[in-house]
Amino acid sequence: MKIPSFKDLILFENDEVIVINKPPLVASVDERTGGEINMLRMAKGYWDDAQICHRLDKETSGALIFAKTPEAYRSISMQFEHREVKKIYHAVIDGTHAFDNKLVDLPIANLGKGNVVIDKYEGKRAETVFTAIKFYKHFTLVECLPKTGRMHQIRIHLATQRASIVADEMYGGKYPMLSKFKKGYRLAKDEVEQPLIRRFALHAYEVSFKLLNGEILTVKADYPKDFATLLKLLDKFDM
């Protein structure tokens, strides 16, 4: 996958912050294996003093905030700590689910090495609100509003509702295959069907936070090509 230049990913920039539309399948920071390109490394190549203010899972696309100054970094970090940053995600989930401001309030325990579980005794408070945006025969496009910022929060909370994000194998999601819902679908001889999306379909659609002057900045991130293509095919064949 060809990664655009950092400059081409920028959605908003001023003297304090940079907000980008992170591509899918690119890590936010250095991973244990090292060597791979990541968003923080790209940001520092664009602005020497750039600091990342939060993280998105490698497979998740969408709005990601960088601070250009120590003052901006401290301010945004405090806003995250006090739950003052509003983040809206969009996800495509398995099945039809009529969520209408559905609050999932289930504590999450981090077991390390990228593993989390719902644990009512050892877990930390985690709240997410879900609202269905669009219904398909076999899927739902849903808005996810996390009130807290636990690892894999949206993914595991959806899984508890039997509404796993498509292609999220870790939490029971299945890869969406066109043959499952397109009538008359046929493969050519010796052809192997490919999934409609190769990573879990979660996108950080919008983020809102305060600038140093107190002004609230809201930035929206368009869907990347793979997410948009998935929805286009569902619109055409699964309505």
- Please give the positions annotated as active site: 57
Residues 6+ apart with CB under 8 A from 173: 93, 94, 159, 164, 165, 166, 167, 200
Dihedral angle, C-alpha 105, 84, 47, 2, nearest 10 °: 30
Residue with tokens 């002057």: 213
For 60, half-sphere exposure in the C-beta direction (CA atoms, 13 angstrom radius) is 22
163 within 8 A of 142, measured Cβ to Cβ: yes
CB–CB of 173/162 below 8 Å? no
* CB contact at 8 A, 167 and 176: yes
39 vs 222: CA distance, rounded Å: 18
**DSSP assignment letter at 186:** -
Distance CA 58, CA 60 (A): 6
Q: Are 199 and 233 in contact (CB under 8 A)?
A: no
User: 12 and 219 in contact (C-beta within 8 Å)?
Assistant: yes
The candidate with the shortest Cα–Cα distance to 43, out of 54, 32, 57, 33, is 54
